Amino acid sequence: MPTHLSAAKSFTAEPTKHPWAEVLYRARDPRWLADCALRLIAQAWDSVSPSEFSRLYRRICTRTMCSNARLRGLYRATQYVVANQIPGDFVECGCALGGSAALIALTLRQLQASRPLWLFDTFEGLPAPTSQDPDFEVATLFTGTCLATLDSVRQLFEELHVAGGVQFVKGLFQQTLPTTAVSEIALLHIDGDWYESVKTCLENLYDRVAPGGVIQFDDYGYWQGARKAVDEFLAARNIHAPLTRLDYSGRTFVKPNGKAAT
């Protein structure tokens, strides 16, 4: 859930209160401050640019907490898997108000590509972090935030005329992912913030991602538990493919082909 919640506020059932304690915690890292400055520049550019990405960005920007760089990562990943005919569905774990998922849906429509899009969320706000999250004291301030109802997210997709093929799955990842009907995944966006959430996504969905498919991690640089879950999983699987940096927080990863790359 990296920075920041202002654009999304008007759509939350209860306006998200940004904990100033977190700002003080982050501000000790000059890379975070630099990222905030870059983000402001990118937002200004995308608010006026005539580029295809910027046009789509302007349609969803009030409904997302993802940075422009990470949204651009999803835009490019969608283009990449469609152009390279990577088989499978599109999956987002952690959609909150629906903005990043809507960007994927709009991009698919722009490409005249039709793929199922699965959205997993509690639709009741963030669950609590656990003792596995090294920055628990800050993370716990966000329990219950990012709240958007399933109906409000469905309405967004209907308003954008991209609701066809979208499956909403309500509940904790720990309960919904083990039995999901998703069989093959071309693009997996993991935006669940906490250690247990990210770990559950990887344990249940990594093997369903097609070789050459893309996994984007929203919180790798931001929440220490998210990073820990990714690093542990890749190490346990002996996977050495590089994570590509999108910004301070986001990383993207192309699943290696079979045995050769693992």
Ligand X SMILES: C[S@@+](CC[C@H](N)C(=O)[O-])C[C@H]1O[C@@H](n2cnc3c(N)ncnc32)[C@H](O)[C@@H]1O
For ligand X, the binding residues (CB under 6 A) are 1, 64-66, 94-97, 99-100, 121-122, 125-127, 146, 172-174, 191-194, 197
Residue 243 CB, nearest approach to ligand X (Å): 18
Residue closer to ligand X (CB basis): 89 or 121 = 121
Q: Token pair 């401050």 is at which residue?
A: 33
Residue closer to ligand X (CB basis): 88 or 216 = 216
Residue 261 CB, nearest approach to ligand X (Å): 28
Burial of residue 18 (CB within 10 Å: 0-12, 13-18, 19+) is middle
**Nearest residue (beta carbon) to ligand X:** 94
Residue closer to ligand X (CB basis): 115 or 189 = 189
Residue 63 CB, nearest approach to ligand X (Å): 7
- Show contacts of 157-164: CB within 8 Å, 24+ apart: 157/98, 157/102, 157/105, 160/59, 160/60, 160/102, 160/105, 160/106, 161/109, 162/102, 162/105, 162/106, 162/108, 162/109, 164/114
Residue closer to ligand X (CB basis): 65 or 138 = 65
Residue closer to ligand X (CB basis): 127 or 212 = 127
Could you tell me the CA-to-CA distances from 162 to 1, 66, 90, 107, 186 in Å, in that order? 24, 20, 14, 10, 19
Residue 238 CB, nearest approach to ligand X (Å): 26
- The beta strands (E) that lie in the chain are given as 89-93, 117-121, 166-170, 185-190, 209-217, 244-245, 251-254
Residue 174 CB, nearest approach to ligand X (Å): 6
